[in-house]
Structure 1
Amino acid sequence: MRYLHIANARVLDPATQTDSVTDVFVADGRIIALGHRPSAGEIETEIDASGQWLLPGLIDLGGHLPEPGYSQKGSIASETEAAARGGFTHICSLPDTKPVADTSAVVKLILEKAARAGFSRVLPLGAMTQGLAGEQLASMFTLAEAGAVAMSNARQPIRNSYVLRRLMEYAATYDIPLFLCANDLSLSDGGCMHEGPVATRMGLPGIPATAETIALAQILLLVEQTGVRAHISQISCRRSISMLQQARENGLRVTADTPLANLLYTHDAVTGYNSLFNVAPPLRSERDREALLAAVQAGELAISSNHRPHEIAAKKAPFSDAESGMSQYDAFLPNAMSLVQRGELTAGQLIRALTAVPASVLNLEHGLREGADFNAVLFDPESEHTLTATDIASGGRNHPLLNQSIQGKVTHVFLEGRRIH
């Protein structure tokens, strides 16, 4: 037996409560020994990881892949390569492609193109409704059989409560998880940033927190009625945290994530009409950001990328007319680690929110333990470099760190023992 030997790495895995400098041995895509040399075999490849951290591969619960349909923004190959560079081994792709991922053919196409690209593994989210129109139910069971891990309507609204209830009942019958965005379109339509004093000062139409919390209340009541497994994607408000806590205390099978941007920035970032910060959900107040951080600290929230790549022209319009979204995959882990450098999260809390928590949402076996698939990231926390356009694999040029100096670098990423970056 020939194996990969990673020496002197700081192994950090909140799922197994591991934080120690040790050696890891990998063969046939699995960890065969941790902290001791295997009884048989020889070293084929050796990596001296002194000063580096070995983490489980990151799992993203929601990113936008522009293929099929939006070739000007990138491809499955470009975005999965960018995800790998950012530390992701698994990414959930949202169904708002063109055509929409509401048929088994589209789901299989996404899986085939991702496998051909050979970077991060794509876990497709199938469309809850036909064409994401929010009216007619998609064939969710067929989509699940084709490889969709859950169903979502992205941020497109469901027509009314009756349709949402029927969706939940259908999904509950087959135990299909739903990824739901809480957004009351009647309150958010036309808005482009958080409703508050900054929006008022800048003369921009706002999106109130109640656009999220009213929709979330409706979702939670119907989850209670139907018993469906529900994941609330991309929450942004302080009040949403307390609502979710109460729902879990009442026994509801509800999980949630928040985008990294909502942990890093507030609506103050919009000052200057920088369209890079036109995102959905909007960047909210400092009190909201602090509440989201506290929920991550408590292990109640996963952190998602909400990656949405755009070409330069898409962000060149005036702020309110620019396409919303931020490219996040390239340099994602160094960007997220800035929360640790700022003292707002510990390394363990951050890694848990990017690995163990999303793995539990998806029922994935994931972690650095003997016998487990070797899905892992080597990260150098002391490396410093400037992120330039040549460093970016994504087709999107709307990255928040472009041409900025960043600390930390992903040096290696492994998927089932195979190096993908």
Structure 2
Amino acid sequence: MTRLGYGEQIRRWRVEKYKEKDSLNNALSSAITVMNARSSYATVITAGSKAEGLTCYYESDRDELFVLEVILCVETGISLHTIPDGIEVYRMDTCAYSGHCRLLLERQTRKHYDVIHNALCDNGHGEILLSSSLFLDEMSAYFPTDSSVVNHERAGPSLPISAGREFHTDIVFALRCHCPSILQRWASRPRHWPSPVLVQKVVSLGANVTAVGFKESEYKHMEWRIGFNTGESELVNNLNETQAKVYVMLKMIVKDVLRPSKKEITSYVMKNIVLWQAERNPQNKFYAQSLLHWLHDGLRALRTAIVTKQLSYYMIPERNLMAASGLTYRQQSHWVEVITDMMAEGPRVILGLPKIRRAIVASPEPMLWYSMKRMELEMLELEHTNRLVPCLENGVLDKSDPILKEIRRRKREVLMEIKLRMIEEGYVVNGLTDILDQMLK
């Protein structure tokens, strides 16, 4: 697992570099808005597997959360006097399906944005609601297009885009949410993990709402989903090495073995299974030699979730992550049989995962060499991405920057070393860009 890019060193490196990228981009955005005498509109946060450091550079889509800073959603009982006048406030009506809410306009600011104003609706009872469906329509139309960027069909609250052959990003617009009662219910649960200090940090990171309702709700076009992206990333980043590798392997099983066609089961389900494992069991039980035990335990939990169509959301247990999953009886029967067979295989279960199987059968020395080169390339690529931000001025890149030049020089040098070795080993070799893409998948 370490040689495939899931070791602690590269995992921690990725986490820090994506945090650094967000900080640089948001600082640049703030500087631009200050110069233009405008208020900051959104804070960009890397979320999902990239924020958790558990995927290689091109291995999966990037999830980016655009949190609008001009709006705050609050629970009933929160005094408006505690909220600055320049913030538009919506009251959360949590009578919707668990983990979802409707947003009632409580206080509008004199200066408001058209994308928000155009999504407001009268519910016929003298109340103004913010429609999640209209909001997403407005953001889709507002979102800038570029000749180098391809916009794809909406997926839930996400506006997917791609640039080039390997660069795919799921953009989700979110509103800040102040829901202390929900977070306190989570924080007060008896648990083995996380520690009290980490619990309070997660609480301090707060929540957000995204523009997607419950699939089977009559009012889904008006509903918003409550989420805790930054808090969940913090929790995953504090899993130990064994727990993180169980999470990665469960995701591999879903992607490479079960292969759902319409996201009937997602990696998010796997994340919640691992978080429940961590909370309910003493940390000293998660060590290297116990990895297969916990993998089997995770498979057992997944099998139960498929059979019962029930898995509680870690942050709001009343929300069922398997509700409206679209699972058919045929899929249930097939996947239960597949998982049961995998569990019966014992340690050989890992040989059913193509990526791990190839690493096991590969010759140790070449595998280690390519692993080290892959790690260096990814570190260089992350450094290169972050260095681009301070080298931009008025949209023009300063290519003379010595650090940027040195990163590019070393990256080309490493790619040439890989190319020469591949030629020596009899492989058909394409250009350096193709080699980079393949190494960082």
* TM-score over 0.5 (shorter chain): no
Higher strand share: 1
What's the TM-score bracket when you normalise by the shorter of the two chains? under 0.3
Considering fraction of residues, name the structure with more helix.
2
| Greater RCO (CA < 8 Å, at least 6 residues apart) | 1
TM-score of the superposed pair, with normalisation by structure 1: 0.26
**TM-score, normalised with respect to structure 2:** 0.26
